[in-house]
Chains A and B, each alone.
Chain A
Amino acid sequence: GDSVTQMEGPVTLSEEAFLTINCTYTATGYPSLFWYVQYPGEGLQLLLKATKADDKGSNKGFEATYRKETTSFHLEKGSVQVSDSAVYFCALNPSNTGKLIFGQGTTLQVKP
């Protein structure tokens, strides 16, 4: 079945470091891909999305490109801040209105 795999965490970085969180997926069709972020004690917030191959989603300095050939949707940010410390979830939606399938989440800790 469809699935999402994320890199193991926690990821610990110093402020202004470059961030990559790897996400790969398995899907039979052409899913939409999402990154959600969960700040401590809060719910899930949509960070960015991409709906077809080669699309790049971006928001708040974060970017991810939908790579069909490598079935990946890696999250990147050029310069992280302490306020970016959170859990990041990669997710796919196999059909427009279907359930989201989440990866296990990657905890990011950014130290000053």
Chain B
Amino acid sequence: EPEVTQTPSHQVTQMGQEVILRCVPISNHLYFYWYRQILGQKVEFLVSFYNNEISEKSEIFDDQFSVERPDGSNFTLKIRSTKLEDSAMYFCATSPQETQYFGPGTRLLVL
């Protein structure tokens, strides 16, 4: 069964550094999402992406964040200058329409 994959599984970075989180969607899916889960808290929506542009973004998704689909397959989330509070599990999700399928997540630790 096709799955959403994410790389890396874990990333440790210094505050102020840039990180890029990668996701490979299920091949026929058209809608892409990023969510994050700070340890012990609920899963929060960051951004949705369709037809090569952002459909919706949350208040969390400020100018430090960006998304793109550079090569038609990968879907990336970039954090330009990481802060301590960006430490979280980041989930990619993809969808053919209404049901979203999640990847295993990238655990980001900012020191």
Of A14-22, A43-51, A65-73, A76-84, the one contacting chain B is: A43-51
Interface centre among A36, A89, A91, A100 (most CB of B within 10 A): A100
- B contact residues, total (Cβ < 8 Å): 25
Residue A101, interface by CB 8 Å? yes
How far, in angstroms, from A51 to B97 measured CA to CA in the complex?
A: 12
Report B-chain residues with C-beta under 8 Å of the C-beta of A102. 42-44
Is B43 a contact partner of A89 (Cβ separation < 8 A)?
A: yes
Q: Which of A24-75 contact B (CB under 8 A)?
A: 32, 34, 36, 42-46, 49, 51
How close is B9's CB to chain A, nearest CB, in angstroms? Answer: 10
Give the contacting residue for B48; candidates A32, A99, A103; CB below 8 A: A99
Is A101 a contact partner of B102 (Cβ separation < 8 A)?
A: no
Residue B91, interface by CB 8 Å? yes
Further contacts, 4 of them, CB under 8 A, given A100-B35, A100-B43: A43-B105, A97-B31, A99-B33, A100-B100
